Structure 1
Amino acid sequence: MTSQPEVGVSDFVLLDNLTTDKFIENLHVRFQHNKIYTYIGEVLVSVNPYKNLDIYAAQHMAQYRGREMFEVAPHVYAVADACQRVLRQQGRDTCVLISGESGSGKTEASKFIMKYIAANTTQVHREYIDRVKNVLIQSNSILETFGNAKTNRNDNSSRFGKYMDINFDYKGDPVGGHISNYLLEKSRVVALQPGERNFHAFYQLLSSKNSYTNKYGLTCNSRYKIVGSERPTAQDSKLYSVTNSAFSALGFAQSVVDDIWSIVAGVILLGEVTFSAAEGGTAVAGGSVSACAAALGVAEGALRSALGSRVLAAGGDLVTKQHSPLDADYTRLALAKAAYDRLFTWIVQQVHYLALKLK
């Protein structure tokens, strides 16, 4: 391995005077020389360079294979190799926790770890882990469409957490895996901060005339509460095509894709429903409940009943209590969040299922 001149301090535990200013100064000096990784003991600090660096090729992997972390320059490959060695030599489960601010590069770091494990695996299992990795990359556009949004700090911010479980055999080779999502920021569906956008799916659907907007009476020029003050762009239209192509590539049936986009349309329409007080209960004052019910795939009467009242158990009897307009509005918001949250969870599960099916 060709030695490279040291820039700054590669491990913060070696700093003589560890202060916040010295910490930031060391990160900055290393960053200026494209040294984006620095240790704090066994913890790896990464700074997103927002550009491609030639430090992830096969020859770089070889430098870290079987080496102790203190022997080589800080790198995400060193972390991956250390975890795999603990697994193989000691037979202990190992977890890599990737944490950071929006846009810090967490998703990319997970891809590099998968890439290293794939390269450090026997050929038969390497093909499997490579296949899973490629499916995850291909499915990334789908997960970004339904789980990412523009924030004030990142135009494509992941608004959910992801836990990836890789199962290994007795030799330390991967033989299976599972992906689960958690903590989707479903509050974003009904409440946006100034300058931010909702999930990309809403803007992609509204970016052009298509069978779904025509069927449910949606137009790209109308102002919908769900999308806030932001309007769909030409980029959203391009990404809408990319998302549909990804659905097709991963084997989603067209009928399933129709249901997915219909639910997105239903959530948009649910955002337009308003209520007013009426004799004997609450009445819908605005919005098309019929179109909303059709998009969500439920009976119109059932939707009106669910929004306008609730059933209580009292002394063994079931009693229907009519909602006030305020209660009905709270119910509408809760339904919109729940519908989108369950849609996203189902999509993640389906991506995992199709990943296992692909040959």
Structure 2
Amino acid sequence: TYIGTLLVSVNPYKDLEIYTPKQMEIYMGVNFFELPPHLYALADNAYRTMLTEYNNHFILISGESGAGKTEASKKILQYYAVTCPCTEQLQTVRDRLLLSNPVLEGAAVGGHILSYLLEKSRVVHQNHGERNFHIFYQLVEGGEEELLRWLGLERNCQHYSYLVQGECAKVSSINDKSNWRTVRKALSVIDFNENDIEHLFGIIASVLHLGNIQYDADNKGSAVIGNNAEVRWISKLLGVSVLVLQEALTHRKIETRAEEVLSPLNVDQAYYARDALAKAIYGRTFTWLVNKINESLANQVRARQPPRRCSFFISSMASLVVFEVGHAENHHDPGHM
């Protein structure tokens, strides 16, 4: 439904078959309130308003975890990819943006992606009925046997603390194995080489191993790691020595002008440090992904170099993407479909 020009939608957790090319054609160029509320109506109205007013516009998609922000942003992106006229070079850029979506689990439309308000807390904690980021489940459920052995992972999401807190590691409407294949294909198309991909999966796996680190208290109340097997896997995957990792996960460093002092953490503090490290690793990896995808897009955009007139922004609180429009006459035209 609408509240003014605000669209309110509910995630049905199933395919309603209302996002088809035929629906795109129906909503293209139609007055905003002329047809029933729809994401396509919002997308079309925002685009035409930008061209009419000839200034920057913004679509903000917000909601709780699981509300459907990612899916909504993908539908808007797909609408623009189909309905906006473009050259062959622009189509290549759009194809790469569409493929970047399953990698980023965010929204993208246009030529440049900016990291924006990634929900890093979800890496270490999920409320009841929520899942962690999809890539973790996709890797565990869909990863090749040889890859999982190299990463030290088992094909069972229940074995990883960071994946079961919401008590819904498996969702009937989500095919993690199929989505894994989509991610693998997307990474190769948007110019990730095998070395990049190997490091990426290693970092993702290291977060899962971090979540399985457990602590005990020694006779002084200081935290000690109960099982070093997880630390050894993290050491291998991140290329950091076991001793450095153990120190970082059980001590805090206090620096003065004259010296550095290591202060042992208690068990609660150690769990907090472990989770902080997991969130930092995942957050920086996401930023790296954004930068790599932008490099891929820039390689395609550089050849055409149009004059930059105005921009269109879409945000689903995970990534922000700039859609550059060079000329006002690039209005929806059924003849260009």
| TM-score using structure 2 length | 0.71
Map of 2:207 onto structure 1: 267
Q: Deviation digits for residues 14-34 of structure 1, max 9, x if unmatched?
A: xxxxxxxxxxxxx4xxxxxxx
- Displacement of 1:129: 3.3
Contact persistence 1:247–1:257 (CA under 8 A): yes
Map of 2:223 onto structure 1: 282
Structure 2 CA distance for aligned equivalents of residues 201 and 294 of structure 1 = 21
Matches within 5 A, 1:275-354: 275-278=215-218, 281-286=222-227, 288=229, 289-314=231-256, 316-354=258-296
- Displacement of 1:317: 3.3
Secondary structure at the counterpart of residue 294 of structure 1 = helix
Structure 1 CA distance for aligned equivalents of residues 73 and 182 of structure 2 = 23
Structure 2 CA distance for aligned equivalents of residues 290 and 184 of structure 1 = 29
Structure 1 residues 231 and 82: CA distance shift in structure 2, 3 A: closer
1:214 aligns with 2:149: yes
Count of residues in correspondence between the two structures: 277
Structure 1 residues 135 and 46: CA distance shift in structure 2, 3 A: farther
Contact persistence 1:226–1:271 (CA under 8 A): yes
- Displacement of 1:180: 1.0
Q: Deviation digits for residues 233-257 of structure 1, max 9, x if unmatched?
A: 8932222222112111222111111
Secondary structure at the counterpart of residue 129 of structure 1 = helix
Contact persistence 2:97–2:108 (CA under 8 A): no
Structure 1 CA distance for aligned equivalents of residues 170 and 144 of structure 2 = 12
Structure 1 CA distance for aligned equivalents of residues 95 and 151 of structure 2 = 35
- Paired-residue identity, %: 26
1:56 aligns with 2:24: yes
- Displacement of 1:209: 5.1
Please tell me whether Structure 1 or Structure 2 has the larger radius of gyration of its CA atoms. Answer: 1
The answer to which structure, 1 or 2, has the higher relative contact order (CA under 8 A, 6+ apart) is 2
Structure 1 CA distance for aligned equivalents of residues 32 and 197 of structure 2 = 49
What stretches of structure 1 of length at least 5 have no aligned partner?
1-26, 28-37, 88-92, 145-157, 167-176
Structure 2 CA distance for aligned equivalents of residues 227 and 270 of structure 1 = 12
Secondary structure at the counterpart of residue 50 of structure 1 = coil
Secondary structure at the counterpart of residue 226 of structure 2 = strand
Structure 2 CA distance for aligned equivalents of residues 71 and 292 of structure 1 = 54
C-alpha root-mean-square deviation of aligned residues, in Å? 3.1
What stretches of structure 2 of length at least 5 have no aligned partner?
302-337
Match of residue 49, structure 2, among 56, 70, 82: 82
Q: Deviation digits for residues 189-219 of structure 1, max 9, x if unmatched?
A: 1112122221111112211552332124321
Structure 1 residues 291 and 85: CA distance shift in structure 2, 3 A: same
Contact persistence 2:46–2:57 (CA under 8 A): no
Match of residue 68, structure 2, among 98, 103, 116: 103
Structure 2 CA distance for aligned equivalents of residues 45 and 326 of structure 1 = 43
Secondary structure at the counterpart of residue 61 of structure 2 = coil
1:245 aligns with 2:168: no
- Displacement of 1:272: 1.0
Q: Deviation digits for residues 138-165 of structure 1, max 9, x if unmatched?
A: 2222223xxxxxxxxxxxxx6xxx586x
